[in-house]
Structure 1
Amino acid sequence: MGRGFGRCAVAIVIAGWAGMASGTEVRLTVSGAGQGLEGDLRAASLVVSTAEDEKANPQDLLSAARADYARLVGVLYGAGYYSPVVHIIVDGAEAAVIPPYGAPARIDTIALSVTTGPRFAFSRARLAPLAPGTELPEAFAAGKTAESGVIVDAVTAGIDGWRAQGHAKAAPAGQSLVADHATNTLDADIRLAPGPRLTFGRLTLSGTTRMREERVRAIAGLPSGETFSPDALERSATRLRRSGVFRSVTLNEAATPGPDGTLDIEAALVDDKKRRLGVGAELSSLEGLRLSTFWLHRNLMRGGERLRIDAEAGGIGGESGGTDYRLGANITRPATFGPDTSLSVFGNLEELDEPEYFEHKFEFGFGLSRQISDDLTVGAGVTYRYSEVEDALGDRSFNHITFPLFATRDKRDDRLNASNGTYVHLAATPFVGIDNSTSGAQIVADTRVYRGFGADDRTVLAARVQLGSVVGASTGEVPPDILFFSGGGGTVRGQPYQSLGVDLPSGDTIGGRGFLGLSTELRVGVTESIGVVGFADAGYVGPDSWPGGSGDWHTGAGLGLRYDTGIGPIRFDIAAPVSGSTGDGVQFYIGIGQAF
């Protein structure tokens, strides 16, 4: 497809195919050392994109041709070619000499001819003054290819270095860029003006928000009076977004600092919808249908409070116990005891008709959660819970005050469909018995690891380890929902739901004080939206607080399909038991989101 002239030539027909409304043929010819640039030049060409528009007329094509000189030269400068020759010929005439509004009635051919010339190197690459600790791009150095983008990156790094030291208005102060065509070199000498060191001033509001100004400032936590920091500014924006109240958050620096060396920040805010309704569903061949819904009210009292009411029914039409019901309400208030600490007050009513027990439960309490960093959250709370239980050990009631503690570190690249990263959740819930109920503690851990392989991480290996323990109380001294069972979609797929527990001499089964769950998946993308999964799960439950030799194991394995909706995959898994005595049939699971 190429023809030789100069040092090298590549000719590509970009347009001119049958059916184009304009009937115009566009050709791009690249010669010189940069023959590999044709893709970038084609992408930058306005002529190419205009010719593809069926509604384009000759005047549109001529305007695009005249604009393409600068666009193509910009691509060449970006690759280090500072002596290019660009011709754009419209039916035999140079586009630059055709009057801007003198387009012919018809254009048959537009030929773009680019001769790159030699590639230039830096003879000098100087940027000063620099803030302490500033690291410039390695490519910005004498002898390296003088790409214009490298110069831009170096200036950006220099300005960012000064801004990190509190010089918010650092800017270029002058430049000398001299191309020596005799030696094919570029002399780059750029000066920066750091400007004064500034401190944060006031946070002002604009946009459309119902939230009270003092609450916006409390949530943002802008450190007024402290030295300006881009990281601190971004943290304030993140806090406002994390509140869940706003659809749009932008923090803008004032154009001019105050005479006292302060820099005001404007918060441009747009509220999200006040109310939201959501639904969910999961289906398992044995556990039946689980339906859930929630209603959310944002900015309830104009202080960023969020009220959420949840309702759920599970086990509908299933063969693993009866139908479970749950109704809960939660009010969350951000920026309580500091901008990174949220307060939650909640209450739950539950009726659990599980294979091995029946329980009515009521909970009420409050908790605090603190965002330590972008990926680390810790929390603590106090909860009162009352439950009435019917199981193999008889009819009982329990009164407890619990003190839940947790820490979560989430470093996944995508929380809905991870291909790389880790997730660790640790929780300990000490409970104090009231009215002859026994005290103790429940400890749980959930660790997940994801590793992607191949182009675009189309293949993902995922692994999960779950650990549970109850200490300080025997199995008969705690509510059964604090104990552990294994089997079903959340633990061992292919085994019936909660089928593995601790067997009593009577032949009945109760939960265990020790639990260990292991899961692994190999996820392979077949197309952009369809993937296949192979998985294997194992679960252990024992009567002792920690996994040992006195408990039992069971395992399951299967295959699945995933359909990526853009907001999370739809999951369909088929699994069968591999070992253990708790299951003997195939199970299937349908839900939204990965299994873990």
Structure 2
Amino acid sequence: MSSKHFKQLTLGMALGAVSAWPVSAYDLTFNTPGASKSLRDSITGASLLESSSSDKSKDAQEIFAAARADYNRIVSTLFSEGYYSGVVSIKLDGREAASISPLDAPSSIKNVVVSVTPGPDFHFSRASIGPVAPKSDLPEGFATGKVAKSGVIVQAVSSAVSGWRDDGHAKAKVADQSIVADHRKDTIAADIRMAPGPLVHFGTLDVSGNTRLRTKRLREIAGFPTGKVFDPKELDQMQARLRRTGIFSSVAVTEAPTLGPDNSMDVGLAVVEQKKRKIGVGAEINSDDGLGLNASWLHRNLFGGGERFTIDGAVSGIGGSTGGGLDYSLGTRLERPATFNPDTSAYLEAQAARKDQEDYTQNGFNIGFGVSRIFNDKLTADTAIKYGWSKVTDDAGTTFFRQVFFPTTVTYDARNDDLDPTNGYYLRGGLTPFIGVGGDTGTGAQITGDIRGYKGFGTDDRFVLAGRVQLGKVVGSNLDETPRDYLFYSGGGGTVRGQPYESLGVQVLNGGTLSTGGLEFVGVSGEARIGVTKSIGVVAFYDYGYVSGGGESGSQAGAGLGLRYKTGIGPIRLDVGLPVSGDTGSGAQVYIGIGQAF
């Protein structure tokens, strides 16, 4: 081949490659005469042409397909806002897209003009639906004289069906409907007839997918209410119980399409099991306490009955400056779901720990049996009976504590998010009676309370005010005969940021030369959380703590600023606090962790 022919071939290949390149972004004009700003935003938000106008990778075929799809998308948007006589025109280089055959699609598109004339909004001349169940929650917009938005009609039907299902009529449906638009009067007449169907009872539960979990235990955990009047909430609770076990990666419930001769309805349950084992690790650091590490090992189904077996360990105080050494803990817990009923779990647990604090060293362990009950998606309770032993060494010598104790907690969690709440509140109360069974232990009770509240403001709750009050009191036993774990300290990330960890207690032991925790505690915290972007936020905080006991009392406060970076597992938290009042610390304290401070 000659060089001349080679150059011609090369040039032809280059031109062919250029012709195959994607066309550049098209010029888009969007006209919405007579539309309000909010309606225009809704229309452009629904348009594929609008969302892809700056995407240079789109070729002519994709632009043509988007244009044809936009007719339906824009008309649906107009209907959803109550406009039923709108006119939509989409021109591609001057040609109406709807008139172009798919087999004659243009090879290039440079200019796109979308014109939407919404026309007048329509109102209901009639809005009738029935019969409806007594507790049906129909939308306020479904009424004569209101704007006839198509979404309101759909919502009215959905509410009517849900109302009958909540009343036990599982097969409620629409029997007939008449929706007529009068374009001369700009009105919609909607008349919908419901067919509630018979009162339904739960039949049998058909299960599938479980390979390691025994079928009998799967049924016990699910708690399917055979024979009871149908209630969709029962199916939601059944799925929630199964997901809480952590055994399953998927839980699907299917209602039988037809009823039995006695108006009973069977339900299908299909599950997919997770891997049997899981390993978890975590870390938290602050400038005073140092680095804390924790790890856990979990078996999700130890004996084939859904038993969760956990071993967890932690070490803290690595590189800390509090004057103490390292703290260690190692614990194990065996939990069995659906022990007495589907919503009650029973557990056995044991823990050994060592605390090496500035004023004392403690070695101890406890072992016990307990039950936890989930009453609903917000209210839970836990109670147990345990035995505890500890050896405390300080400047006064060695003290042994031995006690049987009965920890009970009740929690009401109405937050919208556990790790990053923007609205709602959280209440937790604790009562731990203890009986000394030897050594130097007294008899009494510890009482605790934790109250948190959150209020968001602005778009997407970009500004959040958060507050917390912590309360604690020991009754019945003297300070020197109360186990150290029941006493209260202030200072550190969980109470007063900006003050050293557990820096505030009382000095009433050993003639006033020995520090210990107090018998009473009050902690108050407030935060202003501001979202700078969708991922980054800043926080200003103020914390106050008060401790008293043995005729002595003291208080401290701290304040500072924080930075939050949102992730899929909660915000990464960085707080820098300074002491505001009290004589327990000086200089900045830095805290790093996952999740909000409270």
User: Is the structural similarity TM-score above 0.5?
Assistant: yes
Partner Cα separation in structure 2 for residue 558 and residue 32 of structure 1: 52
Q: Equivalent residue for 1:492?
A: 496
Q: Following TM superposition, by how much is the alpha carbon of 1:229 offset from its aligned partner in structure 2, in angstroms?
A: 0.6
Q: Following TM superposition, by how much is the alpha carbon of 1:342 offset from its aligned partner in structure 2, in angstroms?
A: 0.9
Q: 1:99 to 1:489 in 2, by over 3 A?
A: closer
Map 1:534-549 to 2 at 5 A: 534-544=540-550
Cα deviation, 1:298-339, whole Å, max 9, x if unaligned, reads 122222211111111111222321111100011111111001
Mapped contact 2:506–2:552 kept (Cα < 8 A):
no
Partner Cα separation in structure 1 for residue 220 and residue 426 of structure 2: 30
Q: Equivalent residue for 2:384?
A: 381
Between stretches 134-143 and 564-573, larger displacement belongs to 564-573
Partner Cα separation in structure 2 for residue 558 and residue 57 of structure 1: 53
Mapped contact 1:33–1:118 kept (Cα < 8 A):
no
Amino acid at match of 1:259: P
Q: Following TM superposition, by how much is the alpha carbon of 1:51 offset from its aligned partner in structure 2, in angstroms?
A: 5.5
Cα deviation, 1:491-550, whole Å, max 9, x if unaligned, reads 222222222222133522122222222222222222222222222222222225xxxx74
Q: Equivalent residue for 2:474?
A: 470
Q: 1:519 to 1:91 in 2, by over 3 A?
A: closer
Q: 1:575 to 1:92 in 2, by over 3 A?
A: closer
Mapped contact 1:393–1:476 kept (Cα < 8 A):
no
Between stretches 347-356 and 556-565, larger displacement belongs to 556-565
Cα deviation, 1:395-432, whole Å, max 9, x if unaligned, reads 12222111111101111111111222211111111112
Between stretches 502-511 and 342-351, larger displacement belongs to 502-511
Q: Equivalent residue for 2:516?
A: 510
* Aligned: 1:342 with 2:348: no
Q: Equivalent residue for 1:222?
A: 224
Query: Which of 408, 411, 414 is equivalent to 2:411?
Result: 408
Amino acid at match of 1:172: V
Count residues in correspondence: 574
Q: Equivalent residue for 1:579?
A: 581
Q: 1:587 to 1:74 in 2, by over 3 A?
A: closer
Amino acid at match of 2:500: P
Give the secondary-structure state (helix, strand or coil) at the position aligned to 2:73.
Answer: helix
* Aligned: 1:396 with 2:399: yes
Give the secondary-structure state (helix, strand or coil) at the position aligned to 1:594.
Answer: coil
Amino acid at match of 1:424: L
Q: Equivalent residue for 1:139?
A: 141
Cα deviation, 1:119-148, whole Å, max 9, x if unaligned, reads 211111111111123232111111111111
Q: Following TM superposition, by how much is the alpha carbon of 1:49 offset from its aligned partner in structure 2, in angstroms?
A: 4.9
Between stretches 25-34 and 377-386, larger displacement belongs to 25-34
Map 1:303-452 to 2 at 5 A: 303-320=305-322, 321-436=324-439, 437-452=441-456
Mapped contact 1:486–1:498 kept (Cα < 8 A):
yes
Mapped contact 1:162–1:194 kept (Cα < 8 A):
yes
* Aligned: 1:569 with 2:571: yes
Map 1:99-138 to 2 at 5 A: 99-138=101-140
Q: 1:48 to 1:511 in 2, by over 3 A?
A: closer
Cα deviation, 1:149-206, whole Å, max 9, x if unaligned, reads 1111111111111111111111111111111122111111111111111111122223
Q: Equivalent residue for 1:277?
A: 279
Query: Which of 523, 531, 551 is equivalent to 1:525?
Result: 531
Amino acid at match of 1:442: Q
Q: Equivalent residue for 2:18?
A: none
Q: Following TM superposition, by how much is the alpha carbon of 1:33 offset from its aligned partner in structure 2, in angstroms?
A: 5.3
Partner Cα separation in structure 2 for residue 350 and residue 96 of structure 1: 75
Mapped contact 1:293–1:310 kept (Cα < 8 A):
yes
Amino acid at match of 1:363: N
Partner Cα separation in structure 2 for residue 560 and residue 48 of structure 1: 39
Mapped contact 1:356–1:391 kept (Cα < 8 A):
yes
Q: Following TM superposition, by how much is the alpha carbon of 1:23 offset from its aligned partner in structure 2, in angstroms?
A: 5.5
Give the secondary-structure state (helix, strand or coil) at the position aligned to 1:414.
Answer: coil
Mapped contact 2:166–2:232 kept (Cα < 8 A):
yes
* Aligned: 1:38 with 2:44: no
Amino acid at match of 1:352: K
Partner Cα separation in structure 2 for residue 533 and residue 180 of structure 1: 55
* Aligned: 1:459 with 2:463: yes
Between stretches 306-315 and 266-275, larger displacement belongs to 266-275
Q: Following TM superposition, by how much is the alpha carbon of 1:101 offset from its aligned partner in structure 2, in angstroms?
A: 1.4
Cα deviation, 1:228-276, whole Å, max 9, x if unaligned, reads 0111221111111122222222222111122221111122222223222
Cα deviation, 1:435-471, whole Å, max 9, x if unaligned, reads 3542221111111122223332222222221122222
Q: Equivalent residue for 2:9?
A: none
Mapped contact 1:392–1:509 kept (Cα < 8 A):
no
CA RMSD of aligned residues (A): 2.2
Partner Cα separation in structure 2 for residue 473 and residue 399 of structure 1: 14
Mapped contact 1:126–1:189 kept (Cα < 8 A):
yes
Mapped contact 1:200–1:223 kept (Cα < 8 A):
yes
Between stretches 87-96 and 248-257, larger displacement belongs to 87-96
Mapped contact 1:286–1:497 kept (Cα < 8 A):
yes
Runs (5+) with no aligned partner, structure 2:
1-20
Q: 1:300 to 1:116 in 2, by over 3 A?
A: same
Mapped contact 2:25–2:55 kept (Cα < 8 A):
no
Amino acid at match of 1:107: I
Amino acid at match of 2:200: L
Q: 1:189 to 1:296 in 2, by over 3 A?
A: same
Q: TM-score, normalised by structure 2?
A: 0.91
Q: TM-score, normalised by structure 1?
A: 0.91
Q: 1:69 to 1:285 in 2, by over 3 A?
A: closer
Give the secondary-structure state (helix, strand or coil) at the position aligned to 2:153.
Answer: helix
Q: 1:580 to 1:75 in 2, by over 3 A?
A: closer
Amino acid at match of 1:408: T
Q: Equivalent residue for 1:14?
A: none
Q: Equivalent residue for 1:3?
A: none
Q: Equivalent residue for 1:183?
A: 185
Runs (5+) with no aligned partner, structure 1:
1-18
Cα deviation, 1:64-123, whole Å, max 9, x if unaligned, reads 433333332222222222222233333443333332312233333343332222221111
Mapped contact 1:20–1:52 kept (Cα < 8 A):
no
Q: 1:100 to 1:560 in 2, by over 3 A?
A: closer
Amino acid at match of 1:390: T
Mapped contact 1:200–1:225 kept (Cα < 8 A):
yes
Mapped contact 1:34–1:116 kept (Cα < 8 A):
no
Q: Equivalent residue for 2:553?
A: 551
Partner Cα separation in structure 2 for residue 216 and residue 294 of structure 1: 26
